[in-house]
Amino acid sequence: MLLMKDILDEKDNRLREKSKEVKFPLTDEDKKTVDDMIEFLTNSQIDELATKYDLRPGMGLAAVQLGILKRFFVVVHEYDEGKFDNYVIFNPKLVSNSEEIIYVGEGEGCLSVNREVCGIVPRYARCTVEGYDVDGNKIRIRAREELAVAFQHELDHLDGILFTDKIDKKNPFKGKDIYREI
């Protein structure tokens, strides 16, 4: 079972590296990693399990955050109380996006950033991501709002970008008057 200590901290230089494409069929190790990531993210969003295992809540996790420099991520989205959709995308690519820009009002967070960070992270309100599922089948997912933010956040990880890089250093709340808050 994954624990918080297994997730790289932002000071770890591996988080700044670009991840490599995944080859199919997947290794048993990669399949186990996906299962562990889903379990961790699900548990982290269920209060009693998050408390029991001392987990910070998280919606997404990129392989690089576990020190695995491969292009895949997992997003576990709680769409209703206690009901989750799991998204596992290998070799993801952003293929289209809205012109509308949004930001998370309470601020974005990251399991690799263990501190409070204030500021606006501009994201597309809607996006389409293409990639492959665990069996190597091509998939295409349209996401909006919170899910679109999560996909863009995890895609950034695969290119060595942290959400903190997207906040304007001189004016952390730049765009507050023109972007839509979610």
Residues forming beta bridges with residue 128, ordered by sequence position: 96, 142
**What integer pLDDT is reported at residue 78 of this predicted model?**
95
CA–CA distance, 126 with 157 (Å, rounded to integer): 19
CA–CA distance, 128 with 138 (Å, rounded to integer): 13
Number of alpha carbons in the 13 Å side-chain half-sphere of residue 179: 20
**What integer pLDDT is reported at residue 7 of this predicted model?**
98
What pTM was computed for the model? Answer: 0.96
Residue 161 near residue 73 (C-beta atoms within 8 A): no
Question: What ranges do the domains of the chain cover?
Answer: 4-181
SS3 label, residue 147? helix
**What length is written for the chain?**
182
CA–CA distance, 43 with 86 (Å, rounded to integer): 13
Tell me the CATH number for domain 4-181: 3.90.45.10
SS3 label, residue 67? coil
Q: Computed from CA positions of residues 82, 98, 125, 112, in that sequence, does the dihedral angle turn out positive or negative?
A: positive
Active-site pick, 99, 100, 154, 181 = 154
Residue 166 near residue 174 (C-beta atoms within 8 A): no
**What integer pLDDT is reported at residue 169 of this predicted model?**
95
Residue 54 near residue 126 (C-beta atoms within 8 A): no
Q: Point out the residues of the chain with pLDDT beneath 70.
A: none
**What integer pLDDT is reported at residue 1 of this predicted model?**
87
**What integer pLDDT is reported at residue 25 of this predicted model?**
97
Strands in the chain per DSSP E = 60-62, 72-80, 83-97, 101-103, 123-124, 126-132, 138-144, 180-181
Residue 89 near residue 141 (C-beta atoms within 8 A): yes
CA–CA distance, 133 with 172 (Å, rounded to integer): 36
21 flagged as catalytic: no
